Structure 1
Amino acid sequence: MFTELERNIAAIRLPRWGRVMMAKGPVPWLVVDDDGTPVHPILRYLTNFVASSASPTSVRSYAYALLRWWRWLRAVDVPWDKATSAEVRDLVLWMSQADKLRTTPRTESTVTAGTVNPVTGKKHLGDRYEPRTVRHSNAVIRAFYEYWIDDVQQGPLINPVPLDRRHRGRRPHAHHNPLEPVRPEGRIRYNPKLPKRRPRALPDERWNDVFGGLRSNRDRALLSLGVSCAARASELLGMNGVDLDWGDQLVRVIRKGTGAEQWLPASPESFIWLRLYLADLGGVLDPNTPVWWTLRRRDHGNGLRHHPMSYEALRAVWRRVNALLGTNWTMHDLRHTASLRMARDESLSMQDVQVILGHAHLATTADIYTVEDEAQVIRRVQQHLTERESHARQPPPPLTTGYNTDDWNVLFGREPQ
C-alpha cells in the first residue's frame, strides 16, 4: 500500500539518457532520446509553450527541467502519464541531497565551489541543486501536466505536482494588496523555502578595481553601460546600431519577458567608451547589425571574421576579471549596483527606478531595493558600541558631603551672600 515510501532516495542515480539540443524551426530547443528522436509529449508541450510567446531562453530552461523529469521517471520506472505526487516528492528529496550532473569536471573552481567569497561576500555556485532550481522544476512539471490535462484533455488523469491550499474556506484574494501582483491560490506543496536575498552593490573602490582589470574598450563600454542604465546582460547583448541615440545619450533595449522596447539613459562616460570601441572596430557600425562583436576573428566555415558577442563570451570577460581580483562578481551585480544607486538618490522616486528597471509592479522594486545600506548600518552600530564602552570606562562623579549653602538659605529665608 505504501510501496512508494520504500525508495532509497540516496541510492538513486539518474541515467544519462537523452539530451537537449538546438533545433531549426518553431521550437528552438528539443528534448531528444538516445537515438536523437524528439520526445513527443515534451515536443507537443514546448510547441504550445512557444506559441504562447515564450522566449528561446525560457524554452531552453523548460526543456532541461523536463529532461531531468524524464530521467527521474526512468530511474524509478514510472511512465510519464502514471506519475503521482509521490514521484514529485521523491524527486524534491533527491535534488536536496544529490550532486548535479556535470558534462565536464570542475578544474580551478573545485576549491571554491559552495564557499563564500571573502571579498564580495557572495556564495560561489556549488555542486548541489539550489532551492530556486527545485522550485523551477516543480513549476515546469506542473505546467506540463496542466497542458495535457486541461488543454489536450488526454493522457494523465491527475497533476503530480499538487497545490497546498490552506484556509480552504476563505475567499481567494480577499485581502489582496492592490500594489502587489495577484498570485495563484495555493502554493506548490513541495516547494522549498527561499532565503531572502539582499541585492549586492559594488562599492566604488571595487568597481574601480573591476574596471581597471578590463582588457579592451569593448569591455569597458559594455560594463559602463550596464552600471549606468541597469539593463540586463541579454538586453545589452541584443542591441543593434539603431538602438544607440548619440545625441540624447540613450540606448534602446528589448525587455526580457515582455519583449517591449524601452529607451534608457546612459552615462556620458559609457558613450565615450562606446566611441573608442567602435573606433577599434575600424569601421562605421551598421544600424541593423549587433553593437557587440568578438575581438578575435574566427573561421566558422566562411573565412576569418568577427562574430556577434554571445553570453558565454561575456562570461569569459568576467572570469578573467574575477581570476585577477579573486572575486566572483557577475553582470547582474552591475544591475543591482545601478538600481541601489538610483534608489538611494533623493532626487529620484521609486516609480522612476521601477520604470528604468522594467518591473511590472512597484512592489517588486520597493521590496528589493528599499533596503538600508548594510555597510552604513554596521558603522552606526559599531559607533554605538564604542560610545557605550567609552561611557562605561568613565569614573562616576564624586559624591559631595554636607549640605549646599544655597539650600540652607532657601530653607531659613536668608539672603544669599
Structure 2
Amino acid sequence: MSSYEVHRDLRSIRLAQWGQVVPADDVVPYQVVDPDGRPVEPIRRFLRDFLARGHSAGSVRSYAFDLHRWWRFLRAVDVEWDRATSDEVRDFVLWMGQAEKQHRVPRTTSAATAGQVNPITRKQYPGDRYQARTIRHSNAVLRCFYEFVIDAGDGPLVNPVRRDRFRGRRANAHHNPLEPFRSEGRLRYNPKLPKQRPRAMPDEQWNELFAAMRSNRDRAILALAVSTAARASELLGIRMADLDWGDQLAQVRRKGSGAQQWLPASAESFVWLRLYLDELSDLSPGDPVWWTLRLRARQGEPPARRALTYDALRAVLRRANTALGTNWTMHDLRHTSALRMVRSQKLSLRDVQVILGHAHLTTTQIYLVEDDHEVLRRVHHYLTEREQAAPEPKPVAVGYDADDLAVLLGGIPQ
C-alpha cells in the first residue's frame, strides 16, 4: 500500500448529474458531452477510433455510457482522467458494488418488484444495484480506453486498469516471435460472476405468452425467434430480401461480426409471417420486415408506419408480462430454442453452435448443463406416478384359491 493513498468514504459518494450521452449527427452515432454541450475530447477520439475498428453503433453507445459514468466518478473524487491510477479504479469498483443506480426518471410500477424473483418464471427482476457483469464490462471499457490514449501519447504512462498475471507460469511463455505480444491474466478488480444456467421456457408458459400477443406481427416475430434462436437485434434487422419462402429460411446479420447467415425457421412462423405481411402494403426487397402497427406523424411529414425498434418490441413483451404476471424477455426465447435443440438429441452440439452463431464451441456447451427446474419437474412427475394407486388384481378363475396362487406365484395373500 502506498504511503500517499487517499482513503475515501465510498458510501457517501453521490455522482452529480454532469454531462450526458447524446445521439450525434455524425459518423460516430453517440457522443459524451459536458454540461455546455461540448464533446469530451478524449472520449470523442476514442469512440471514433473504436467505430473505425468495426464495432457496431450499439457498442459505441454502451462504451459511451460506461465512460460517462467514469468521468462523473472522477469529478466526484476530484481526480483528472489522465491522473487516474489503479487506486481510483479499485475505489470505482468498490463504489459500484454498493451504490444504487441513479435513474433520470423515478421507477413507477417496477419499483415494487426490483430485485425480487418472479414466482411464475422464477427469474429475478432487474435490481437497483450494479451487477457483477456490469462492473466487469466497465473495467474492460476503461482498459480499452486507456490503452488507446496511452498509445496516442495523451494519457498516463501506465494503464490504471491493471491485470493479474497467471500464477505458476510466466506471461507469454510460449510466445511466437512472429506474432505480437498479447496481454494475459484477468483484470485485477473484476468481481466473480455468479453461475447462471440457461433456462427453457416450459411449453405451457410459451403457449400462454404466445396467446397474449395482440397482432399477427407479434405472433410472427415470437414464432420466428423461438424457432431460429436469433437475437432480438438480429430479427429486427431482417429485410424482405432476407426471407426464403420456398426453403423457409431467414437471413440475419450476426451481432458483433455482422456476418450474414441463413437460419431455418418453422413452418408455423412463416404462416404467421404471411398473415402479417398481407396486412401491409407492398414492400420492396430492401424494406425492413417489421413495422409499427399504427401510423405515426413527424413534424412536417404525413402519418406513416415506422420501422419497429428494440424499445417498441420490449413494450410488446412488457404488456404481455403485465397481463400474465411474468417477466419473460426475447433472450429467453433464444435460450428456449437452444435447449430444445440440444434435448432433442437429433442435432449435434456443432449444429447448435452454428445456429446460435457462437464463435467457440465452449460457449455452446453451457446448454449441456441440466436445468435444475427441469430436473425438479421430472422428479415431481416420477413421484406422482409412484403415488398413483396400483391397479386392482384380476379375479382368479373359478376353482382356484387366491391365497394359494399368491403363495405359489410370489404375491401377497388376500
TM > 0.5? yes
After TM superposition, the structure 1 = structure 2 runs for residues 380-391 of structure 1, keeping only pairs within 5 Å, are none
Query: Which residue number corresponds to residue 293 of structure 1?
Result: 291
Output aligned runs, 1:1-150, within 5 Å.
2=3, 4-149=5-150
Partner of 1:304: helix, strand, or coil?
coil
Q: Report the 3-state secondary structure (helix = DSSP H, G, I; strand = E; otherwise coil) of the residue aligned with 2:270.
A: helix
Per-residue deviation, 1:155: 2.6
* Deviation at residue 74 of structure 1 after TM alignment: 0.4
1: CA distance between counterparts of 2:288 and 2:382?
53
Does structure 1 conserve the Cα–Cα contact (< 8 Å) formed by 2:86 and 2:162?
A: yes
Aligned-pair CA distance for 1:384: 8.4
Equivalent residue runs for 1:16-415 within 5 Å: 16-149=17-150, 151-167=151-167, 169-170=169-170, 172=172, 184-281=183-280, 283-301=281-299, 302-366=301-365, 368-379=366-377
Query: Which stretch shifts more, 41-50 or 368-377?
Result: 368-377
Separation of aligned partners in 1, 2:231 and 2:173: 32
Q: Which residue identity lines up with residue 11 of structure 1 in the other structure?
A: S
Change in 2 beyond 3 A, CA 1:386/1:342? closer
Give the structure 1 partner of residue 404 of structure 2: none
Matched to 1:293, the amino acid is W
Matched residue type, 2:302? G
Q: Distance in 2 between matches of 1:374 and 1:360?
A: 27
The offset of 1:154, in angstroms, is 3.2
Cα deviation, residue 5, structure 1? 4.3
> What's the offset of the Cα at 1:372?
1.8
> Equivalent residue for 2:402?
none
* Runs of 5+ consecutive residues of structure 2 not aligned to the other structure: 175-181, 388-414
Instruction: Indicate how the Cα distance of structure 1 residues 333 and 191 shifts in structure 2: closer, same or farther if over 3 A, else same.
Output: same
In structure 1, C-alpha distance between the alignment counterparts of 2:228 and 2:190, rounded to whole Å: 34
SS of aligned partner of 1:6:
coil
| Aligned-pair CA distance for 1:185 | 1.2
Provide the secondary structure at the position in 2 that maps to 1:96.
helix
Give the AA of the match of 1:34: P
Q: Is contact 2:165-2:171 (8 Å) kept? A: no
Secondary structure in structure 1 of the residue aligned to 2:278? helix
Q: Taking structure 2 as the reference length, what is the TM-score of the superposition?
A: 0.88
> Please, which moves more after superposition, 2-11 or 314-323?
2-11
CA 1:190–1:388 in structure 2 vs 1: closer, same or farther (change >3 Å)?
farther
Aligned to 1:399: none
1:303-341 per-position Cα deviation (integer Å, ceiling 9, x unaligned): 100000000000000100000000000000000000000
Where 2:279 maps in the other structure, the secondary structure is: helix
2 CA distance for matches of 1:291 and 1:379?
A: 38
Residues 68-110 of structure 1 deviation map (CA, whole Å, 9 limit, x = unaligned):
0000110000011100011111111111111111110011111
Task: Read off the aligned partner of 2:163 and give its amino acid letter.
Answer: L
Distance 2:380 2:183 in 1: 44
Return the offset for 1:388.
11
SS in 2 for 1:251: strand
**Deviations 1:326-369 (CA, angstroms, capped at 9, x unpaired):** 00000000000000000111110000000000000111101x11
> In structure 2, what is the Cα distance between the partners aligned to 1:269 and 1:383?
30
Taking a change above 3 Å as real, the CA distance of residues 34 and 162 of structure 1, as seen in their structure-2 partners, is same
How far apart are the structure 1 equivalents of 2:273 and 2:385? Answer: 50
Structure 1 residues not aligned, in runs of 5+:
175-182, 390-417
1:169: how far off?
3.8
Alpha-carbon distance between aligned partners in 1 of 2:172 and 2:319, rounded to the nearest angstrom: 51
Distance 1:294 1:379 in 2: 39
Amino acid at match of 1:284: D
What is the rounded CA distance, in whole Å, between the counterparts of 1:58 and 1:164 in structure 2?
26
> Whole-Å Cα distance in 1 between the matches of residues 78 and 62 of structure 2?
24
Q: For the structure 1 residues 184 and 358, does the alpha-carbon distance in structure 2 shift closer, same or farther, using more than 3 Å as the test? A: farther
Cα distance between partner residues in 2 of 1:349 and 1:343: 8
For residues 384 and 319 of structure 1, do their structure 2 counterparts lie closer, same or farther at Cα, with a shift above 3 Å needed?
Answer: closer
Q: SS at 2:250's partner residue? A: strand
User: Could you tell me how far apart the structure 2 residues matched to 1:236 and 1:285 are?
Assistant: 17
The alignment yields a C-alpha RMSD, in angstroms, of 2.0
- Provide the secondary structure at the position in 2 that maps to 1:253: strand
Q: Aligned AA for 1:273?
A: W
Matching residue's letter, 2:165: R
Q: Tell me, in whole angstroms, the C-alpha distance in 2 between the residues paired with 1:388 and 1:6.
A: 63
Alpha-carbon distance in 2 for matches of 1:211, 1:35:
48
**What is the letter of the counterpart of residue 297 of structure 2?**
D
Deviations 1:153-181 (A, max 9, x none): 2331111111111326446487xxxxxxx
Alignment partners' CA distance in 1, 2:313 and 2:382: 44
- Specify the code of the residue in structure 2 equivalent to 1:244: L
1:371 to partner: Cα distance: 1.8
1:373 deviates by 4.0
Q: Distance in 2 between matches of 1:38 and 1:316?
A: 32
Cα distance between partner residues in 2 of 1:323 and 1:28? 33
What amino acid maps onto 2:287 in structure 1? T
The corresponding residue for 1:396 is none
